[in-house]
Amino acid sequence: MDSQCVSILPRVCGVLLVSGGSLPDDTSLEKLLDWFTTMAQTGASLLEVCPCLVDFVSKVAFNYASGSSILSFTLKLTGLICASEDGFKVLKECSVLKLVFNPHHWQEVGFWEDPCLRIGWIQGLKMILQHSEALSFFAQADLIEPLLQLQTDSSLFVASAANQTLAQVLLLCQSLSSVGHNGSKNRDLEHNSVSLETTQNYSGIITKISEYLNKSVVLKEISQLPGSQQILRLLVMLLGRVGPPLRDTLLLAVMNSLEELVTTSCSQLTVPLMDVILAATSGLRDDFVPKQRLIRLSWVMLNMKKPADVMQAAAAVLRSDQSDPALSAHSARVLLLPLDIVTGVTLLDENSTEEELRILITEQLKRKSCISIICVCLSNIPQITLMASDHLPCPQRLIVTAVLLLLRLCCVESSSSSTGCVEVVRFITGNSKVQKCALEALLVLSKSPGVKMVLVDVFKVLTEYLNSPSSDPSVLQKSYQAVIKWVGVCPDLSCITDKLREGFIQAVRKRACDTRWEARDSTVEFLGHLVGAPSCRSFTEQETDPSDVLLGGRSFTVPLLKEALQDPESYVRASSISALAQTLTPSWQKGTALTQEEEDIVTRLQEVLFQDSEGFARRAAVKYFIAWLSACSSPSSCWLLMQSVPTVLSQGVVDLDWEVKLHTLELAELLLDRVFLNPSPSCPYAMTSDQAHRFPIAGQQSDLLSSLKDLVDRGVVLALLCGVVDCDRPVALKACQLLLKLRDVVCPVMGNTVFCQLAGPSVMQQVRKIQAMGKDTCVVSEAYREADKEGICASVDPECVSVCEVLKLLDLDEKLSILTQSSDHIYNSPLSLLQDILTAAAASSHPGRDSRLELVMDCY
């Protein structure tokens, strides 16, 4: 710890003791506690390093005028000190510990009602509970009673903290019980008398916790409902964290209460109750009696008289790792029952589900609440498809058929009718929530066996949705996703008819001109994603791209995307640029000659970089050139690409959007890697994993010189020099890393033979500043004189420097070290925090202080 911090800390403690003392900001105490916590985690003794803390804690405990925030901070600090056995003994001998953690003391002085103090008490107690001495103190002071009372506190923050602390108590009891006789973890357990006392302590604590849980689980009246929900959530957490035999003890204690609670049939408790049952069942032996009782409870939950509750219970079973096959199969039948009833598609045998439940769900589907039941059914289809085929109530292909029929019933323009529950149609028609759930289910069902038989029906339904004027933009997006998914898993699209293709083209063209920008955006995104789908067989039985089968290929897609470059919404412009890059990538990879249309696109993208007011489109434009350069096996053969790169680099690196600048540097990195960092026999100076660089032989040094000149001519070096002095740290960091790569390759083997202009006034200022510090007072002039002697430069430009010299002059290693530090590394320090607290206290006590003036503090 810094000696200056040690000297200041007593004064800070004195300031905190003063009632109403000002603090720099509301989080100063938390920051101070974080600092102490960090010290403790490094193994340092807080009391040895900061002996003034004992006096501070003692005075606060008796100073009833201290604010609740100071009191809460002190309780947490006391817990942190007592987390070590040495600190625990010191504060116990000072008689401070018992007073600080005595709830009655805080009730008497009127602070216990403040949630801030209760939080401090709970969190301080949790910090203490790290060793057997702390457990003994906890038991002897009977702190389990107030902790249990706080489990259902009116403040959710207090109740949650109390739940966590109760779990910590049980975990400590479990830990001590496992080592209570060998002393391997706690040196005081080596004595049998202490071990016996410890055993008695945790046994008594566990008994009280078990009795409390058993009593609290039961719902006596509806006003206790929030408390019961909180206790059930607590049980789920405890059963998930503690292990046997403690887990079994808790389970046996609450089993009767759980069985009683199930009989209440309270809908609000269905989900948390199922969570408890499934958390308790997980990991239990099949022959363990409580497991059999829990499985029976699950069956009871699945046979309740309220359809919504039964559906929730069945969904909980499928989401869990339930090992009972019969229970899982029954849950799947329950969840598919609404789909069976609504569509009339026979998914279940007549005898597979209780007729009473079918009647109840049918009646429920005739009301508006049918929406939630249908959505629960659809959202659990992914879990149903994961089941073994012999446990499924029907083939997955039938489920696909039912979902498709449901989608038709939901579509306003559809003329389909249902042989099932016709009353439900008026509620689900045009309902976007049901439509999205059904489309998500269709996405998952694309992997089902035998779906090729329904492929035409799938595309017909999706085309209907894409053409429907009433389709919500989010529904359109899901429809596009479904098309991509089904195309990807069904490589044979020979069943796509001309009529279906025409309907699909019409839908895409219409949505590209939709008045809602979200619909236009989803459409151009879809066109890009479709290109990435795997090849398929068309009606000609030849391998082709899905885009060709469904839309006629680039002749349809590219003009549409090119038109979207003029869209008034920036998101759409950005998506169209990305889609164009995806669409043109295959031709770039083949080295196909550019068409006039593609050349026009490049011109438009350069205009976007210079003129577009939104950063989204400009980012996409730079990434277009990144994709183009990455896809070209021989970029130098594409004159338009190499002609465009300097323009993109020079404009992108000075953009106002930091992400545009960062993407520009990624483009520069691609060019750099192609020249220097591509390990191949033709690149003798390539960087390898076991060396920073390889020295080229004399005959190859001319190639290196030519490559470096090419990078300068392309604007790569200029962009990196501009980026390294950028005000945005990610940009400067990226540029610095790339310049270091460049320096390590070229500087060891090259002299002052390649020159470039400094990247504007920023780099010039930095170079001049370094020169003024005496690091190198004549780098520019000397470099040019040397170059002039060799006849390299015809005239002297004062802003033109040797690449190697400027790479050395910028001190990139030091700059990298600074850039890799966090932005607040100077002010984010304990010393700064302590000084802020003292300064704030002095300012608040100054008699002539203007209350309108704000004290500006360091950002921590």
Is the pLDDT at 583 greater than 90? The verdict is yes
Note the Cα 221 to chain centre separation in Å: 40
Run of H or E including 623: helix 615-631
Calpha distance 35→760 (Å, rounded):
43
pLDDT in tens, 593-606: 999 999 999 999 99
Of 761 and 109, more confident: 109
The stretch 824-843 carries a mean pLDDT of 78
- Mean pLDDT score of the chain: 84
Sign of CA dihedral 375, 376, 378, 380: positive
The stretch 133-151 carries a mean pLDDT of 93
Calpha distance 561→723 (Å, rounded):
32
pLDDT in tens, 767-808: 666 555 544 434 444 444 444 444 433 333 556 778 888 888
Q: Residue 806 is which amino acid?
A: V
State the residue for tokens 């008045």.
515
Is the separation of the CB atoms in 306 and 267 below 8 Å?
yes
pLDDT in tens, 304-341: 889 999 999 999 999 887 668 889 999 999 999 999 99
- pLDDT band for position 388 (cuts 50, 70, 90): confident
pLDDT in tens, 242-278: 888 888 899 999 999 999 998 887 889 999 999 999 8
Calpha distance 163→829 (Å, rounded):
33
| Contacts of residue 608, Cβ cutoff 8 Å, sequence gap at least 6 | 565, 573, 577, 617, 618, 621
State the residue for tokens 């009673």.
145
CA distances from 84 to 50, 51, 88, 139, 832 (A): 14, 15, 6, 18, 27
Q: Residue 426 is which amino acid?
A: R
DSSP-assigned states of every residue in 535-585: PEE-TTSSEE-HHHHHH-THHHHHHHHHHHTT-SSHHHHHHHHHHHHHHHH
Is the pLDDT at 299 greater than 80? The verdict is yes
Is the pLDDT at 698 greater than 60? The verdict is no
pLDDT in tens, 555-569: 999 999 999 999 999
Supply the pLDDT for residue 401. 94
Q: DSSP state, 801?
A: E
Tokens of 781: 């002039």
pLDDT in tens, 441-477: 999 999 888 788 888 899 999 999 999 999 999 999 9
Which of 155, 65, 82, 53 has its CA nearest to residue 114? 155
Calpha distance 575→562 (Å, rounded):
11
Supply the pLDDT for residue 126. 95
Calpha distance 252→631 (Å, rounded):
64
Is the pLDDT at 226 greater than 80? The verdict is yes
Tokens of 164: 């966590």
Of 695 and 220, more confident: 220
pLDDT in tens, 593-642: 999 999 999 999 999 999 999 999 999 999 999 999 999 988 888 999 99
Supply the pLDDT for residue 546. 87
Note the Cα 16 to chain centre separation in Å: 38
Q: Which of 32-36, 94-98, 658-662 has the highest mean pLDDT?
A: 658-662
pLDDT > 90 fraction of the chain, expressed in percent and rounded: 49
Q: Residue 130 is which amino acid?
A: Q
- pLDDT band for position 422 (cuts 50, 70, 90): confident
- pLDDT band for position 755 (cuts 50, 70, 90): confident
Supply the pLDDT for residue 682. 40
pLDDT in tens, 336-382: 999 999 999 999 876 656 788 899 999 999 988 899 999 999 999 99
Q: Residue 271 is which amino acid?
A: V
Supply the pLDDT for residue 575. 97
Residues in the chain: 860
pLDDT in tens, 184-224: 444 443 444 445 666 777 788 999 999 999 999 888 787 78
Note the Cα 477 to chain centre separation in Å: 22
